[in-house]
Amino acid sequence: MKKDFISVLITNYNKGRYLDRCISSILIQKYTKFEILIFDDCSNDQSADVLSKFEKLKNVRILRNKKKKSNYGPINQIYGILKMFRISKGNIISLLDGDDFFKNNKLKVMSDIFLSNKKLNFIQDTAFSLLERKKMKLKKKNHIFSIWPSFFPTSTIMVRRNFFLSFKKIIYSKKYPNLEIDARLVIYSYLTNNFNVLKKSYTYYQYDQSGITSKYEKFSSLWWKKRIEAYSYMKTLMKKKDIKFKVSPDFIFTKLINYLYFFKVN
């Protein structure tokens, strides 16, 4: 396995109107040492027609799921990524959602960064939001109210294969149904001192109202539920690594809100 070979793992569910742009952004890269794996999760839009344009290319492999793994989007996304990872060949793994796309120099820039720093295992570039027409900003970490450092969407993440292999062992793909893979990877990278963010932008982020994150409107019951799941996930990893979990005001408040929501529903 070549050190500079990149596997781009694309997850897709009904992103047909964006999918051509997504895949093409990889095919026109200045960097050529890559493969594209696409996991289509039972799409019922025009995705099949778009994918048919690319399926005969040698460096493109398409996995079509016949039945959804779960009723939860985050679990389905993780399932697809794990399926692609198992058959991927890259020493560097790049995640990409079907509605996002890359600048044509992203793979070259990221490959150079990984090759120049052998200790680097995880990196995010700064996302450019197509909705707001500007770079997304990370909020400064508040040490009193915090879960993990703020981070960019899934499509900005690139990791070394061995790092993902170690992450895969504690991904808990069937637990925490509201917690996306980007949050899990960030928590894991943060706890293992591997969290790194580039200030420059090489990823275009398309907010889709029908996407996974659209269900988790800020301060909604699902938003609070995802937060407590994030805490549970983090506590589990910290226990494995013998790191003491510090109870913060944010944790107490998040737990209280979830209790009140549960009490209200039941």
Q: Closest Cα to residue 83, out of 99, 66, 101?
A: 66
In the predicted model, what is the mean pLDDT of residues 85-114?
Answer: 98
CA neighbours within 13 Å on the CB side: how many for 146?
14
CA distances from residue 107 to 135, 196, 233, 243, 259 in whole angstroms, order as listed: 19, 17, 31, 35, 45
CA distances from residue 258 to 189, 229, 254 in whole angstroms, order as listed: 26, 10, 6
In the numeric block, which tokens belong to residue 113? 């960064």
Number of domains in the chain: 1
- Does some domain include residue 250? no
Question: Which pLDDT score, from 0 to 100, does residue 40 have?
Answer: 98
Report d(CA 124, CA 168) in Å as an integer. 19
Question: Which pLDDT score, from 0 to 100, does residue 182 have?
Answer: 97
- Does some domain include residue 1? no
- Does some domain include residue 190? yes
- Does some domain include residue 227? no
- Does some domain include residue 89? yes
Bridge partners (DSSP) of residue 94 are: 8, 158
* pLDDT exceeds cutoff 60 at 265: no
Which stretches within 208-248 are classed as H helix? 221-240
Q: In residues, how long is the chain?
A: 266
- Does some domain include residue 259? no
Report d(CA 28, CA 158) in Å as an integer. 19
In the predicted model, what is the mean pLDDT of residues 172-198?
Answer: 95
CATH of residue 157's domain is 3.90.550.10
- Does some domain include residue 85? yes
Question: Which pLDDT score, from 0 to 100, does residue 218 have?
Answer: 85
- Does some domain include residue 79? yes
**The pTM of the whole model exceeds 0.85:** yes
Question: Which pLDDT score, from 0 to 100, does residue 4 have?
Answer: 92
Q: Closest Cα to residue 257, out of 249, 233, 60?
A: 249
Q: What is the percent of the chain where pLDDT is above 70?
A: 95
CB 202, CB 128: distance < 8 Å = no
In the numeric block, which tokens belong to residue 74? 């985050």
Give all strands (DSSP E) within 131-201, no chain letters.
134-135, 157-160
Within 10 angstroms of residue 119's Cβ, the number of other Cβ atoms is: 6
Question: Which pLDDT score, from 0 to 100, does residue 266 have?
Answer: 44
In the numeric block, which tokens belong to residue 5? 């070979």
Query: First vs last Cα of the chain: how many Å apart?
Result: 53
For residue 98, give its domain range: 6-208
Read off the pLDDT band of 149 (50, 70, 90): confident
DSSP secondary structure code for residue 145 in this structure: S
Within 10 angstroms of residue 73's Cβ, the number of other Cβ atoms is: 20
CB 77, CB 171: distance < 8 Å = no
